[in-house]
Chain A
């Protein structure tokens, strides 16, 4: 089983310029663990001090927000396209 992951351009300085990669992860925690292994620099960037995914990153599975699919409990299907996208907001005034 394989999923295809797409990263925003802002992240590729931590992946030797790679914008897409494949992963055999079966769910979101598995994908994060895979990123820990394969792209440690990216891993540091996308996680906060407590090791959780930063709240400014949204995860989409085939165009759907993963939170609508069960979040961390969602089981990736073969061929799923996963996108990491920073949320666009105005900040905390």
Chain B
């Protein structure tokens, strides 16, 4: 189960050993995580602004710097989500130059996980896996199930038993086999590591993880391209396992190396829920050591108490001059509402985390008003509507008569007959 490819291969960042291309995530010698390394010089004449502009309006326009096997025919138009100027939200939180990267509308399953899954499954097919799967907090489950169905692969997906009903339904509907595990994500993840050891399955975030994780870079490429091939001053990114924030930086560094953008320091800010904040705690305490936590937050898609990329993420954030913050469940819900009310973007709890943390970073003066800042929204609010239960009352039905409607509006606005008469008199 391996293939040769001259453009990229697995490499151990600790001992430097290279391993070609195979379903393997840890160095057999020093056990360190493996990462994809590219022949960047070979990519130089392919990965140009002109070639990218001539490519499709999805992540495959960046294929020259993705671990996509030769001959792979991209099928689904994944990614290339809107980068929108957030003037209204900006006004509310004191930001003059704020953008939202909106992966709440990523295709096909409405989260940024569609990016990583498409890259992982391209490799799963090449390696010859018939069964694919993942450990998931929900969005990944949805994406693996949907994309596996499209590719004709069987999917077995493991999730914590207490996952939001919408995310369970959004997995089952694609015909995937879903196994609910009596435990939290960290238990599920550990079990999947053992499964990958014993079964010949392609688990996208376990034995295919080096390939999978590279898909996250496309968020970074898109941000730079959509800003007119320039880098922002700051990026605010939600953190679960801690992978995305590092891959955005990797993307920016590749763009600088290949001359597509001007070099500039970009500060990276991580966002977590206070109920599961191992990385943000590490950043605040100035350490790379992650103390695992038992998650207790409504932001279940970020509820990873023992984040695999946590140490590296904490180190990178501080070296960039950035910071990490965490917010309470109440703030998360307010963040969801604020983004919806100001920008018309309905995000899930993770996006509530990112929005609330972004607001706090401005309030605390960690980000200045005029700096170009991109806040990354990674999932859709329709999947976590239970977080908003009780926030909106269903009002009584009104008879289909204009007079009743008039009266009802006055009732809603709290205007009395007396006030109306007075206003009329004026």
Contacts and interface: CB of A to CB of B under 8 A. Distances in A.
A88 B26 contact: yes
Interface string A56-78: 11101001010110000000000
Contacts of B292: 65, 67-68
A78 B399 CA distance: 72
Contacts of B308: 87-90
Nearest to B12: A91
Contacts of B294: 68
A9 to B, nearest CB: 5
Contacts of A65: 186, 292, 306
A57 B190 CA distance: 12
A93 B247 contact: yes
B197 A88 contact: no
A68 to B, nearest CB: 7
B294 to A, nearest CB: 7
Interface string A8-23: 1110000000000000
Contacts of A63: 183, 187, 190
B197 A9 contact: yes
B358 interface: no
A93 B250 contact: yes
Contacts of B385: none
A92 B198 CA distance: 27
B306 A89 contact: no
Interface string B332-347: 0000000000000000
B325 to A, nearest CB: 22
B312 A91 contact: yes
Contacts of A88: 25-26, 33, 189, 193, 205-206, 209, 308
B243 interface: yes
A60 B190 contact: yes
Contacts of A55: 311
B31 A46 contact: yes
Given A65-B292, A68-B292, A68-B294, A91 B187 contact: no
B243 A90 contact: yes
A63 B250 CA distance: 34
Nearest to B194: A85
B70 interface: no
A86 interface: yes
A86 B190 contact: no
B422 to A, nearest CB: 66
A90 B31 contact: no
A65 B315 CA distance: 23
Contacts of A87: 33, 306, 308
Contacts of A58: 190, 306
B32 A8 contact: no
Contacts of B12: 91
B35 A93 contact: yes
Contact of B210 (A60, A68, A90): A90
Contacts of A90: 33, 35, 209-210, 213, 243, 246-247, 308-309, 312
A88 B312 CA distance: 13
A38 interface: no
4 closest A-B pairs (Cβ-Cβ)? A89-B308, A91-B35, A91-B33, A89-B33
Interface of A: 8-10, 45-46, 54-58, 60, 63, 65, 67-68, 83, 85-93
30 contacts: A8-B197, A9-B197, A10-B31, A54-B32, A56-B26, A56-B31, A58-B190, A60-B190, A63-B183, A63-B187, A67-B292, A88-B25, A88-B33, A88-B209, A89-B33, A89-B241, A89-B243, A90-B35, A90-B209, A90-B210, A90-B213, A90-B243, A91-B12, A91-B32, A92-B14, A92-B33, A92-B312, A92-B315, A93-B249, A93-B253
